[in-house]
Amino acid sequence: MKLLVTGGAGYVGSVCAAHLLEAGHEVVVLDDLSTGHRDAVPDGARFAEGNLADIAGTVLGEGGFEGVLHFAARSLVGESVTHPELYWENNVVVALRLLEAMREHAVPRIVFSSTAATYGEPEQVPILETSPTRPTNPYGASKLAIDMMLTSYAAAHGLAATSLRYFNVAGAHGRYGERHTVETHLIPIVLQVATGHRESVSVYGDDWPTPDGTCVRDYIHVDDLAEAHLLALTNATAGRHAIYNLGSGQGFSVKEVIEACRGVTGHPIPATTAPRRAGDPAVLIASSHAAAEALGWRPSRTDIRTIVGDAWRFTRDRLPV
Supply the minimum distance, in Å, between the C-beta of residue 220 and ligand UDP. 11
What is the Cα–Cα distance from 27 to 227, expressed in whole angstroms?
Answer: 16
**Does residue number 280 form part of the binding site for ligand UDP (CB under 6 A)?**
yes
Report yes or no: 52 and 30 within 8 Å, Cβ to Cβ.
Answer: yes
Supply the minimum distance, in Å, between the C-beta of residue 115 and ligand UDP. 8
Smaller CB separation from ligand UDP, 102 or 215: 215
**Does residue number 286 form part of the binding site for ligand UDP (CB under 6 A)?**
no
Of 115, 134, 5, the residue nearest 59 (C-alpha): 5
Of 251, 253, 255, 252, the residue nearest 271 (C-alpha): 255
Smaller CB separation from ligand UDP, 233 or 284: 284
**Does residue number 78 form part of the binding site for ligand UDP (CB under 6 A)?**
no
What is the Cα–Cα distance from 121 to 106, expressed in whole angstroms?
Answer: 38
Q: Per CB under 6 A, which of residues 185..204 are in contact with ligand UDP?
A: 185-186, 189, 201-204
Phi (first) and psi of residue 260, to 5 degrees: -60, -40
Q: How many residues bind ligand UDP (CB under 6 A)?
A: 14
Of 226, 179, 182, 203, the residue nearest 77 (C-alpha): 182
Half-sphere exposure of 60 (CA within 13 A, CB side): 27
Sole window of 26-34, 143-151, 178-186, 231-239 interacting with ligand UDP (rule: CB under 6 A): 178-186
**Does residue number 215 form part of the binding site for ligand UDP (CB under 6 A)?**
yes
CA separation (Å) from 208 to 78, 215, 272, 304, 318?
21, 7, 15, 21, 35
What is the Cα–Cα distance from 272 to 17, expressed in whole angstroms?
Answer: 38
Among the listed residues 12, 17, 69, 254, the single contact to ligand UDP using CB under 6 A: 254
**Does residue number 168 form part of the binding site for ligand UDP (CB under 6 A)?**
yes
**Does residue number 277 form part of the binding site for ligand UDP (CB under 6 A)?**
yes
Among the listed residues 74, 173, 217, 241, the single contact to ligand UDP using CB under 6 A: 217
Report yes or no: 5 and 20 within 8 Å, Cβ to Cβ.
Answer: yes
Supply the minimum distance, in Å, between the C-beta of residue 168 and ligand UDP. 5
Supply the minimum distance, in Å, between the C-beta of residue 142 and ligand UDP. 15
Supply the minimum distance, in Å, between the C-beta of residue 185 and ligand UDP. 4
Residue type at 261 in one-letter notation? C
Give me the active site residues, please. 139
Residue closest to ligand UDP, measured at CB: 215
Residues that bind ligand UDP in the complex, under the rule CB under 6 A: 168, 184-186, 189, 201-204, 215, 217, 254, 277, 280
